[in-house]
Amino acid sequence: MKRKSLLLILLAICSLAMTTQGQDGVVYSTELSAHASPRDFAPYYMTANRYGTVANGCGVYLRAGAFIEMDSTKRFSYAAGVELMGNYETTSPVRQWENGAFTTKQVRPQIFRIQQLYADIKYRSLFLSIGMREKAHENPITNFDLSSGNLILSGNTRPIPQVQIGFHRFVDIPLTKGWVQIKGDIAYGKFLGDDYLRNHYGYYTSFITTDVYYHYKSLYLRSNPNKPFVFTIGIEDGVQFGGINKAYHDGKHTSTQQSPLNFKSFLQAFLPSAGDGSAIKGDQLFTYGNHIGAIDMAAEYKFGNESKLRLYTQWIYEDGSGMGKQNGFDGLWGISYHTNRRSIISDVVIEYIGLDNQSGAIPWQPNDYEDTQVTTATSGGDDYYNNYFFNGWQQGGFGIGTPMSPSIMYNTDGYMRYLNTRVRGGHLALRGYMNDDWQYRIMASYREAWGTPFIPARQDRYQASMLIECTYAPHTLDGWQFCGAVAIDAGNLIGDNTGISLSVKKSGKLFSFKKKTK
């Protein structure tokens, strides 16, 4: 949906809010942030899971937004928000083929953009949302502030414009007496970032795919959250579909393929099936669109002092082989502990991520073609986050899934696909309070990578990263927050790097709605 249409919808919802009783008012949030490092890209933990706000080595940004917050206690409620962002960062190099020779182009990220623009309506437990909204923190499995990142939607990229419907929260399933709850959603949208791809593609080999559409759905079941032991299980599935693919070889445009986009396409994105005769060849043989999903599980125990111990996992899949868990221990495996009080250590998160098995045929299964001489299957070809038609599970260069698998943002050679999908590593995060005003966060990770199943790395690649962050939120200055951080990278996967960042945030109530008089 075009931005003008989204703005009109937002204004309509805001006008409704001015005359409707029930909402508290409009709140605002502003942030001024600066970061600096000597490399082309900022250190890993300064870019990871920050909704695409930081990319290159040095920069400054200003965010300012106004929001109407949802009142979950009301039968009917609404929410709306708009947040603008001005961003100025140093450039990064991109190699491109022009006029029969390679040239190095310096590219600067977009200076101004709409970071959030949305309007939501809720009735009882059902909701409708239209626009771009930061919501990765709503995932019921991973901790957005401390996790290495959800495997499907991590919050690593700016919000995707979409229309979404579903349950606003977990609700009781009838006849279960509160012992089983359900939550789910369905979304359709369109990816941003075509300008990024055009500016960063090398135009020499491989391909570029633009005008791509987005689909996401999830379904979760949870046991009674008021009991000491709570179990959650669910599934989430993301899809890329549609799109125009242009391929190049030795600097020459060789082909253009357009994936069909019609009403049937939207149905096939929701219920995976092979494409018809109008689809591209790969979609006819396998499944229409590029699917990436995970089967999620979490078990949580609440102690008498309200602290919580949680075990969770995400089993990643690209197709039926992954859904059948033929990919070994591939996925995210984590444990977290929350003390429910402000102590020197309030939260601990430990995670293991494995993306190196990658079930799936190389290059195909015995029965994929008639009269084939292939009689056995060789597995390991799922190539997570990559696809033969799309430029990977990304938006604007940032990976939509876990940032532990380096996205195309780091490719300065003009190649617009993931270079390292076979990744294995660990992640540790701590959060605590020195006193009521001072908070800290420490995150550290180590990972190894071996290229992709089809383009193995010539040597083992590794990366160690660390972040130390301190936040000062004085109780004497309501709504003010001051934050400073130091981040360090060491290794040959994304390179050695050191950086610092400073930010100032201010939030509060802009104004209250006047209630109707009788």
Q: What is the DSSP letter of 139?
A: -
| pLDDT of amino acid 16 | 46
Q: List the structure tokens of 463.
A: 């990366």
Domain ranges of the chain: 3-512
Task: Please check the confidence at residue 422 and state whether its pLDDT lies above 90.
Answer: yes
pLDDT, residue 376, reads: 66
Using CA atoms, how far apart are residues 370 and 476, in angstroms rounded to an integer?
75
Of 14 and 415, the one with more pLDDT: 415
Which position has the token pair 């868990």? 325
Please choose, from the candidates 202, 17, 60, 23, the residue with its C-alpha nearest in 3D space to the C-alpha of residue 502. Answer: 60
DSSP H helical ranges for 249-298: 263-270, 281-285
Confidence category of residue 375, pLDDT binned at 50, 70, 90 = low
Return the minimum-mean-pLDDT range out of 173-177, 255-259, 512-516. Answer: 512-516
Stated pTM of the model: 0.90
Query: For residues 463 and 148, what is the distance between their CA atoms, to the nearest angstrom?
Result: 14
Element (H, E) at 399: strand 398-399
- For position 369, what pLDDT does the model report? 66
Tell me how many degrees the CA angle 310-332-223 measures, rounded to the nearest 5: 40
Rounded Cα gap, residues 391 and 389, in angstroms: 7
Confidence at residue 366, expressed as pLDDT on a 0 to 100 scale: 67
Q: For the CA atoms of 313, 314, 320, 326, what is the dihedral angle to 10 degrees?
A: -40
Please, which pLDDT band fits residue 327 given cuts at 50, 70 and 90?
Answer: confident
Residue 441, pLDDT above cutoff 70? yes
Per residue in 10-41, pLDDT (tens digit) is: 554 455 444 444 467 899 999 999 999 999 99
124, pLDDT greater than 70: yes
Structure tokens at 68: 């109407």
Question: Each residue of 464-494: pLDDT tens digit?
Answer: 999 999 999 999 999 999 999 999 999 999 9
Give the model's pLDDT for residue 1. Answer: 46
On whether the CB atoms of residues 492 and 9 are closer than 8 A, the answer is no
Instruction: Work out the average pLDDT over 420-447.
Output: 96
Q: What is the pLDDT of residue 71?
A: 86
Q: List the single range of 103-112, 270-279, 337-346, 430-439 with lowest mean pLDDT.
A: 270-279
What percent of the chain shows pLDDT beyond 70? 90
CB-based contacts of 280-286 (< 8 A; 24+ apart in sequence): 280/245, 280/389, 282/388, 282/389, 283/259, 283/389, 285/368, 286/319
Mean pLDDT for the stretch of residues 319-324:
80
Q: Give the integer Cα–Cα distance in Å for 188 and 190.
A: 7
Q: Assign 327 to helix, strand or coil.
A: coil
Tokens representing 201 are 């593609």
- The mean pLDDT of 145-156, rounded to a whole number, is 96
Mean pLDDT taken over the chain: 90
How many residues make up the chain in this entry? 518
Residue of higher predicted confidence among 433 and 264:
433
Q: Which residues contact 138 (CB under 8 A, 6 or more apart)?
A: none
More confidently predicted of 49 and 322: 49
Dihedral in degrees, nearest 10, Cα atoms 449, 452, 453, 456: -70
Sign of CA dihedral 409, 411, 417, 421: negative
- What lies within 8 Å, CB to CB, of 88 at 6+ separation is 59, 60, 61, 111
Mean pLDDT along residues 411-419: 95
Check residue 338 and give its pLDDT: 96
pLDDT given at position 137: 86
Taking residues 342-356, what's their average pLDDT?
Answer: 96
Residue range 3-512, CATH number:
2.40.160.130
Does position 354 have pLDDT exceeding 90, yes or no?
Answer: yes
Alpha carbon 154 to chain centroid, angstroms: 3
**78, 16 contact by CB (below 8 A):** yes
In the block, tokens 């990064």 appear at: 92
Let me know: does 248 contact 206? Beta carbons within 8 Å: yes
pLDDT on residue 304: 87
